């Protein structure tokens, strides 16, 4: 192909090569390590071999993050369409799922039949829990996509960890309310992980059920319905756990429940560190400012990013939830964690260490004014005193200015487009899955209606499309 006549963007796209392309094969390594270690123990290797994955995850990966360092390279935007179209990256995500199910089944079988010592059983529970906890991240990558196959695979991936409601709450709740008091998955400065954990688990479950109940109500369907996607996801867990319990007996169910609890706690500790102390300010119209890079903690540490589909480039994910992992970008103005998630997870388990490390970073991020931070209510006054700020006087607020965009209610247009992900609302088609049938006029949509694809833009943000 001749390069004559190509613009600079085209030249950049042709020259750019993903230097990490083959290193992405590390992404499905976690279940492979777990399965290999358990099978080795089954075949007679010493029981300590089952600690291979916990040691890899909590010791080796943080060390490799420190040794290898960071990668702040972004793919040129002109190369993104080709990256998105390359099915190699998709197959890497898919490859996680069968091995995840194998380790879940083999782990349950070995826990019941292996006559394991307590420390060996603990290693098996933690290893299986890590696999299924990281599996939530696989489901996270799949669940944000718009095609039916990937969304169903997301639900299937969530079944072994018994956290199927995450598919609903994360996509439609967390992405809408992130870094606000309304979001149960956004942690507050001064809140320990152990205080955050029960709040987010209960809050996320309630949020998912409410979101789904409202959707079904708009469709004139009962909440206890086969169309309830929360119940669909939970049913997959029930079927999986029931099948293994019928095969192996009640002790298998105990194993499955304990490993699931460890697994979803791994998700929630990641949630804890992603938005700690960060908050979106309110606009004069009562809405929150749009989510910006400054509202997520990021990390460019290479090894953890390879294992977690670049989840650590969290700001870009929140701005563009449908963007595939291989194309996520680093933003210079996003706050940076001192290390990768693997190391930060361990630190989060020890609140004094976490507060000592992260609280000064939150203070610095807000220019010393903690009135602009997301503070844990019971510790609010103590934190303000600790960092040389008294409680703000009555009437003081943190409302920020942002360009006002008139809400589009009735306009001469046939279609309306999300400026973020380019989803198009056509009144002739409606949005039946969300309870707005074909023929639903634009003016009939509530102001709180959000884009069904990216969930980060609401009705006032949409733009009319005219011929």
Residue-wise pLDDT for 23-66, tens only, equals 999 889 999 999 999 999 999 999 999 999 999 999 999 999 99
Based on the domain organization, do 322 and 420 belong to the same domain? Answer: no
In a domain, 188, yes or no: yes
Q: What is the mean pLDDT of the chain?
A: 91
Q: What is the pLDDT of residue 398?
A: 47
Residue 404 has pLDDT above 50, yes or no: no
In a domain, 107, yes or no: yes
In a domain, 386, yes or no: no
pLDDT band at residue 390 under the 50/70/90 scheme: very low
In a domain, 358, yes or no: no
Domain boundary pick from 342, 372, 392: 342
Domain boundary pick from 294, 310, 342: 342
Based on the domain organization, do 308 and 212 belong to the same domain? Answer: yes
d(CA 221, CA 217): 6
Share of the chain above pLDDT 90, in %: 78
Residue 392 has pLDDT above 90, yes or no: no
Based on the domain organization, do 25 and 139 belong to the same domain? Answer: yes
Mean pLDDT of 277-301: 91
> Is 0.85 surpassed by the pTM of this model?
yes
Based on the domain organization, do 186 and 275 belong to the same domain? Answer: yes
Mean pLDDT of 196-204: 98
Domain boundary pick from 287, 320, 342: 342
Based on the domain organization, do 204 and 315 belong to the same domain? Answer: yes
In a domain, 15, yes or no: yes
Q: What is the pLDDT of residue 172?
A: 94
Instruction: Quote the DSSP letter at residue 60.
Output: I
**CATH code for the domain in which residue 412 is found:** 2.20.28.10
d(CA 123, CA 47): 9
Mean pLDDT of 310-332: 92
For 233-269, how does the pLDDT look when each residue is reduced to its tens digit (9 = 90+)?
A: 999 999 999 999 999 999 999 999 999 999 999 999 9
Q: What is the pLDDT of residue 284?
A: 85
Residue 7 has pLDDT above 60, yes or no: no
pLDDT band at residue 15 under the 50/70/90 scheme: low
Contact yes or no for 267/166 (Cβ under 8 A): yes
In a domain, 143, yes or no: yes
pLDDT band at residue 399 under the 50/70/90 scheme: very low
| Host domain of residue 427 | 405-467
Based on the domain organization, do 245 and 116 belong to the same domain? Answer: yes
Q: What is the pLDDT of residue 17?
A: 87
Q: Count up the domains in the chain and report the number.
A: 2
Based on the domain organization, do 319 and 428 belong to the same domain? Answer: no
Q: What is the pLDDT of residue 333?
A: 85
In a domain, 3, yes or no: no
Based on the domain organization, do 118 and 249 belong to the same domain? Answer: yes
Mean pLDDT of 352-363: 96
Contact yes or no for 71/4 (Cβ under 8 A): no
Based on the domain organization, do 146 and 280 belong to the same domain? Answer: yes
Share of the chain above pLDDT 70, in %: 91
d(CA 86, CA 324): 11
Residue 5 has pLDDT above 60, yes or no: no
Task: Specify the range with the lowest mean pLDDT, choosing from 72-81, 98-107, 408-417, 450-459.
Answer: 408-417
Based on the domain organization, do 290 and 418 belong to the same domain? Answer: no
In a domain, 2, yes or no: no
Based on the domain organization, do 161 and 40 belong to the same domain? Answer: yes
Contact yes or no for 299/339 (Cβ under 8 A): yes
Please provide the DSSP assignment of 316-359 as one string. Answer: HHHH-TTS-GGG----TTS-B-SS-HHHHHHHHTSHHHHHHHHH
Based on the domain organization, do 232 and 334 belong to the same domain? Answer: yes
């Amino acid at each position: 192909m001749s390069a004559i006549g190509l613009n600079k963007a085209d030249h950049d796209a042709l020259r750019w090569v993903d230097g990490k392309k083959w290193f992405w094969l590390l992404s499905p390594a976690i279940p492979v390590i777990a399965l290999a270690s358990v099978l080795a123990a089954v075949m007679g290797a010493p029981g300590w071999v089952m600690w291979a994955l916990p040691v890899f995850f909590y010791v080796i990966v943080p060390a490799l993050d420190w040794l290898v360092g960071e990668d702040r390279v972004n793919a040129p935007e002109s190369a993104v369409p080709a990256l998105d179209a390359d099915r190699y990256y998709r197959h890497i995500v898919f490859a996680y799922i069968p091995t995840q199910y194998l380790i879940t089944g083999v782990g349950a079988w070995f826990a019941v039949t292996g006559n394991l010592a307590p420390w060996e059983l603990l290693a098996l529970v933690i290893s299986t829990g890590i696999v299924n906890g990281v599996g939530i991240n696989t489901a996270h990558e799949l669940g944000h996509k718009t095609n039916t196959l990937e969304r169903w695979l997301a639900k299937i991936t969530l079944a072994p960890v018994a956290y199927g409601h995450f598919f609903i709450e994360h996509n439609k709740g967390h992405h809408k309310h992130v870094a606000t008091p309304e979001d149960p998955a956004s942690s507050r400065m001064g809140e320990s992980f152990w205080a955050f954990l029960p709040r987010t688990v209960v809050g996320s479950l309630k949020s998912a059920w409410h979101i789904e109940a409202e959707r079904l109500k708009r469709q004139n369907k009962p909440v206890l319905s086969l169309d309830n996607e929360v119940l669909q996801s939970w049913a997959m867990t029930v079927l999986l756990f029931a099948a293994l319990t019928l095969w192996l007996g009640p002790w298998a169910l105990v194993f499955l429940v304990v490993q699931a609890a460890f697994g979803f706690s791994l998700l929630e500790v990641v949630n804890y560190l992603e938005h700690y102390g960060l908050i979106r300010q309110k606009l004069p119209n009562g809405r929150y400012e749009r989510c910006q890079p400054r509202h997520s903690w990021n990390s460019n540490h290479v090894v953890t990013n390879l294992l977690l589909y670049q989840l650590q480039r969290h700001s870009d994910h929140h701005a563009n939830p449908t963007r595939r992992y291989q194309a996520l970008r680093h933003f210079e103005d996003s706050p940076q964690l001192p290390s990768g998630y693997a190391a930060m997870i361990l630190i989060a388990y020890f609140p004094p260490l976490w507060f000592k490390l992260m609280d000064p970073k939150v203070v610095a991020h807000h220019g010393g004014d903690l009135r602009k931070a997301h503070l844990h209510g019971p510790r609010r006054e103590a934190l303000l005193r600790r960092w040389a700020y008294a409680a703000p006087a009555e009437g003081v607020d943190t409302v920020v200015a942002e360009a006002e965009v008139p809400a589009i209610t009735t306009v001469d247009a046939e279609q309306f487009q999300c400026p973020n992900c380019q989803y198009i609302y056509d009144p002739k088609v409606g949005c039946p899955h969300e309870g707005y049938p074909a023929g639903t006029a634009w003016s009939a949509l509530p102001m709180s209606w959000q884009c069904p694809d990216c969930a980060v833009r609401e009705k006032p943000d949409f733009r009319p499309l005219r011929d």
